[in-house]
Structure 1
């Protein structure tokens, strides 16, 4: 395992990996070191837990964006910005690439917009 440091700002409530400084420290499993199905599933469960914390935090920040934009919600989507997000993520996840990441990013954005609308 090796640690990755992600700085999302305010840590999520109850996030076990969040440091008081707002850094998110995650020990990522070395996929090559996993030898059993149980280890693989446990690693995925841990990664999914951190993804959930990050998605919750992203949705909260996206809700702020919706309040700040002159046109919010689905009507205020910016396809250029969304392409930039996909390309930046693809640079960090080259095995997934932009084509596989685009529908994931779209789903995250739509879920965040829907959550922001339900907060009003």
Structure 2
């Protein structure tokens, strides 16, 4: 396993051990999320694999919560928000960008995943 910091542009790289910021990156007011990214070949037992999944799930929960908060802001800023304001073109752009970072998942799987994320975010914004 190794730590990697993913910046706002989606670029990834090693992080500075002293401060946790990506090497060469300017300091940000937003907190960084440091997540060990397991390599499946390095996991030898079910317990190790489940521990790796638990760590990824915890980070994913934080990211999903942050994404939902930002998406709720977008809904308030748009002339027509909520489900009626969905933009299929923008959603395709999101999936296309994600497919570049996760090609092994494939565009079809990412479309399903992001549809669920977007719909859950819209539901959360309505609360």
Tell me the TM-score range normalised by the shorter chain.
0.7 to 0.9
**Whole-angstrom CA distance in 1 between matches of 2:30 and 2:80:** 34
Q: TM-score, normalised by structure 1?
A: 0.85
Residues 5 and 114 of structure 1, relative CA distance in 2, 3 Å threshold: same
Pair 1:31-2:40 in alignment: yes
CA offset at residue 3 of structure 1? Answer: 1.4
Written as runs of structure 1 = structure 2, the 5 A alignment for 1:1-120 is: 1-7=1-7, 21-118=30-127
Aligned-partner SS, 1:81: helix
5+ residue gaps in structure 1? 9-17
Q: CA RMSD in A?
A: 1.7
Contact 2:72 2:125 in 1 (8 A): yes
5+ residue gaps in structure 2? 9-19, 22-28
**Whole-angstrom CA distance in 1 between matches of 2:112 and 2:90:** 15
CA offset at residue 6 of structure 1? Answer: 2.9
Contact 2:95 2:110 in 1 (8 A): yes
**Whole-angstrom CA distance in 1 between matches of 2:72 and 2:84:** 14
Q: Which stretches of structure 1, 4 residues or longer, exceed 4 Å deviation after superposition?
A: 18-21
**Whole-angstrom CA distance in 2 between matches of 1:21 and 1:69:** 24
Number of aligned residue pairs: give it. 109
Write 1 or 2 for the structure with the bigger share of helix: 1
**Whole-angstrom CA distance in 2 between matches of 1:108 and 1:36:** 30
Q: TM-score, normalised by structure 2?
A: 0.80
CA offset at residue 26 of structure 1? Answer: 1.0
